[in-house]
Amino acid sequence: MNPKLFIVSTPIGNYDDITLRAINSLKNADFIICEEFKEAKRLLSHLKIEKELFSLNEHNEEESSQEIFRKIKEGKTAALISDCGTPLFSDPGFLLVQMCINSKIKIEIVPGASSLMAALVGSGFKLDKFYYAGWLSPKKDVRRKELLRLKGIKELIVLMETPYRLKAILTDMLKIFSSSVQICIAFDLTLPSEKFYRGTSAQLLKIAEEKNLKGEFVLIINNK
């Protein structure tokens, strides 16, 4: 058999968003590479797929990549998934993919649900261009410097953050960006609790405090 690596996107919350191609790729793989066993087993159980699992995460990436690469080189077909969404997008897997590319092992990308695109489409902002700023620093002083730099970028700015830092980042934005800048918080995307909150940083901070918002979110700043 020819060695092969599938990079498989999985749902970001709603399991109904899994694609037929993703299901077939997982079924056809000899083994599956995941971030955390718990999340992978939950998804695979839902899909009624049983496969050998290998963990590849930020704690073991270098060692695990070497082990997994050796198995693929033996002629195995592997499928790489993350806890949710598209692998490698703010998730581990880079080293393994580079090894496969350098050894001319075939890589097949299986696209799927994206929190980034869902947030942009639902934001109500014009989508001709956007700047992906990714994850800001958890350290307040560093984060404020990063926001100050982003203030000079006159585009839609997309930020990813952990659920428990929403109020902190809105507080920082209130101090740094213009009070009239419009923001959209795409909250709990694809889940029954999905909601889009739109307004200024002051308005959204008030909502976050009143509702005590805790959940996954993407934050979009209309800084044009």
Task: Give the count of beta carbons closer than 10 Å to the beta carbon of residue 101.
Answer: 11
| pLDDT tens track for 192-215 | 999 999 999 999 999 999 998 888
Domains of the chain: which residue ranges?
Answer: 4-110, 115-222
As separate numbers, helices (DSSP H) first and strands (DSSP E) second, the chain gives 8, 10
Residue 90's pLDDT band (cuts 50, 70, 90): confident
CATH fit for domain 4-110, picks 3.40.50.2020, 3.40.50.11540, 3.40.50.1820, 3.40.1010.10: 3.40.1010.10
Average pLDDT over the chain reads 95
Q: How many residues does the chain have?
A: 224
CATH code for 115-222?
3.30.950.10
Whether the per-residue pLDDT at 47 is higher than 90: the answer is yes
